Amino acid sequence: MSFTQDNFVKNFVKEIELSRDIKPSSLSWISLDISKIRPISDFDYHVSAGGTNVKIFKRDELIGRFEIHNLETGMELVDQICQYLPNDITSLAIALAFPLDYILTGDQIDVKIIRNVKGHNLSDILNLDLNQIFRKKLVHLQDLQIINDATSLMYEKHIKTQATAGLILGTGFNATIVYDGQIVNLEAGNFDKFDFSKTTQFIDQASDNPGQQILEKEIAGKYLFSHYNLIKEKEVFETTEEMFNEIDDLTHQLVHHQHEIIKKVMSAMELFLANENIIWAYEGTMLEYLVDRFDM
């Protein structure tokens, strides 16, 4: 599964440029002015909702945790989050691992999920203002911030370490940059200008969102086990942990393939930012493994 396409980096840079210039691109340019974002420490409670795991904190104390798999409705996620929060809560920050769009109205940021990803069906809340949805559930809320998890990570790392580029690789995949005083979410999992593997083609065709999130389907944790099972010609076509219970040559090939692609994404982001000395922000169990193994 060697990945040798030299055009990957060039195409990724071009797609960033197109998205920045508001032209058709597989990448996004979803930006928030840094001055409009507040640190998690400003809020009494915060929620980190990844593609699989959701964690609820009261300040730095973990007070709740649950898993989500193939959600059938968006309200299912909203209701589960609210179950862990007190009825009289007044201050809340939420970081969501879903593609979000923002509309600024004065100091208010209206937030909406724009498409389904990671096997979840959120159609009932797509393009609806998440602020209103949560305020109807938690009627005492006065202070609420909802942003994308990659944007949140990039902001927190930027104010603490001056990081200017970030990657998340866990259940899903995403990349962010700091550009002209803004945090820009590229929705990098949707990049598709590369020769993806035959197993990715199969996974994509069998998915609920064919033609979308191609790079995510190529390397993200949610799909890595499916690549393994398909190559092994196993009947089980689902995410399991069998792959890491028995580390074999194929597992190493898949992880090496992940690493090669991540390095190409990083090279493209360095080229776009014209900076070879980027301070990086990393998040996600898969990425932490790659960083540790390959000394990225």
Q: Give tens-digit pLDDT for 249-286.
A: 888 888 889 999 999 999 999 999 998 889 999 988 87
Which positions ≥6 away from 283 have C-beta within 8 Å?
149, 150, 153, 166, 167, 168, 170
Distances (CA, A) of 14 to 8, 119, 125, 175: 10, 28, 32, 15
Residue 1 has pLDDT above 90, yes or no: no
pLDDT at site 245: 52
Give the chain's mean pLDDT: 89
Average pLDDT over residues 3-11: 75
Tokens representing residue 63 in the block: 């007070």
pLDDT at site 146: 97
pLDDT at site 237: 44
pLDDT at site 4: 43
Helices and strands, number each (H, E), in the chain: 10, 12
Longest dimension (CA), the chain: 55
Q: Give tens-digit pLDDT for 87-127.
A: 999 999 999 999 999 988 777 788 999 988 888 899 999 99
Provide DSSP, 264-286.
HHHHHHHHHHT-SSPPEEEESHH
Q: Give tens-digit pLDDT for 112-123.
A: 999 888 888 999
| Cα-Cα-Cα-Cα dihedral sign, residues 197, 198, 200, 201 | positive
User: Phi and psi dihedrals of 235, rounded to 5?
Assistant: -75, -25
Q: Are 164 and 155 spatial neighbours (Cβ–Cβ below 8 Å)?
A: no
Residue 132 has pLDDT above 50, yes or no: yes
Which residues in the chain belong to E strands, given as ranges? Answer: 30-33, 45-49, 53-58, 61-67, 91-96, 100-105, 108-113, 143-148, 165-169, 173-179, 182-185, 280-283
CA-nearest of 156, 101, 153, 151 to 130 is 101
Question: Cα Rg for the chain, rounded, in angstroms?
Answer: 19
User: Phi and psi dihedrals of 208, rounded to 5?
Assistant: -80, -10
Assign residue 85 a region: left if phi > 0, alpha if psi is -120 to 50, beta otherwise?
Answer: beta
Higher pLDDT, 294 or 133: 133
Q: Are 66 and 114 spatial neighbours (Cβ–Cβ below 8 Å)?
A: no
Q: Give tens-digit pLDDT for 157-195.
A: 999 999 999 999 988 999 999 999 999 999 999 999 999
CA distance 3 to 12: 15
Q: Give tens-digit pLDDT for 189-242.
A: 999 999 999 999 999 999 888 999 999 999 998 888 889 888 887 544 444 455
pLDDT at site 247: 54
pLDDT at site 235: 47
Query: Is this prediction's pTM over 0.85?
Result: yes
